Amino acid sequence: MAAIGYARVSATDQDLTLQISALQAAGCDIIRSEKASGTTRAGRSELATILDFIRDGDTLMVTRVDRLARSVGDLQDIVRTLKLKGASLKATEQQIDTSTAAGKAFLDMLGVFAEFETNLRRERQMEGIAKAKAAGVYNRKRKNSVDPEAVRALIGEGKGASSIARQLGIGRASVYRALKAAP
C-alpha cells in the first residue's frame, strides 16, 4: 500500500513547493507534480500516469480537491477510477477520505464549490472583456513590437535574419514577419 501524492498549479510562474512539502509530511512515498489547468484532465500527463499505475490499497493524496479537479464530472471520474482499482483519495487540508461515507459526501460538496468558483471566474472575465469592448479599449491583437523599418534597414546593410534578431532582441520568425508585412 503506497501513498501517492499529486501536486498541481495552473500557471508556470506558480510554485509547487508548499504542496510538495505538505504531501511529503503526510507520508507520500511518490509525488508527481505538474503545471497545468485543473479545468480539464486533458494535457495532465502526471495525473494520467498516477491513474494508470495506482494499485489496490494505494491512496492518492492531494492537498486540496481543487488541485485534482475543478469540475464535478472530472472529480467523479477520477474517484470512480480510483474505486475501480481499489484505491482511495485523501486530502491533507480537507476532511476527505473516500474510504468513508462522510468523506465521499464532503468530497462531492467541495467538487461542486470548485466548479462554481471556476464558473464565477469565467463570468467575471467575460464581463470585463465586454466592458472593455464597450469602452473601446479591448484589442485581442498585440501591438507590433517589431519595427519593420529597422528590419529593412538592417537587411539593406547586408545583415542576415539571425544577426538582425540578436541585434533587435527578437526572434528570427519576427524578422521574417516584419519583412513580409513591409510594403
Q: Identify the sign of the CA torsion 31, 25, 18, 120.
A: positive
Residues tagged active-site: 10
What is the C-alpha to C-alpha distance for residues 7 and 20, in angstroms, rounded to an integer?
6
Q: Is the pLDDT of residue 99 over 70?
A: yes
Q: Are residues 164 and 115 in the same domain?
A: no
Whether 133 is covered by a domain: the verdict is: no
The answer to whether residue 42 scores a pLDDT higher than 70 is yes
18 pLDDT more than 90: yes
Tell me what the pLDDT averaged over the chain comes to.
Answer: 87
pLDDT band at 123 (very low <50, low <70, confident <90, very high): very high
Please give the share of the chain, as a percent, with pLDDT higher than 90.
Answer: 34
Task: Answer yes or no: is 69 within a domain.
Answer: yes
Residue 141 pLDDT greater than 70, yes or no? no
> In this structure, are residues 39 and 8 in contact, taking their beta carbons and an 8 Å threshold?
no
Instruction: Tell me if 32 is assigned to some domain.
Output: yes
pLDDT at 182 over 70: no
Distance CA 82, CA 62 (A): 14
Range of the domain at 59: 3-119
Q: How many angstroms separate the CA atoms of 26 and 20, rounded?
A: 10
What's 56's domain CATH number? 3.40.50.1390
More confident residue, 79 or 111: 79
Q: Are residues 13 and 88 in the same domain?
A: yes
Q: How confident is the model at residue 82 (pLDDT cuts 50, 70, 90)?
A: very high
Q: What does the pLDDT read at residue 136?
A: 80
- The alpha carbon of 63 is separated from its chain's Cα centroid by a whole number of angstroms, namely 16
Which has more pLDDT, 96 or 143?
96
Q: How many domains does the chain contain in total?
A: 2
Quote helix, strand, coil % in the chain, to nearest 5: 50, 15, 35
CB 78 within 8 A of CB 51: yes
Q: Are residues 169 and 91 in the same domain?
A: no
Residue 180 phi, psi (nearest 5): -70, -35
- Considering the domain architecture, whether residues 29 and 100 belong to the same structural domain is answered as yes
In a domain, 134, yes or no: no
Same domain, 89 and 172: no
**97 phi and psi angles, rounded to 5 deg:** -155, 105
* Beta strands 59-62; 88-91: pairing state: parallel
Q: Report d(CA 107, CA 82) in Å as an integer.
A: 14
pTM score of the predicted model:
0.61
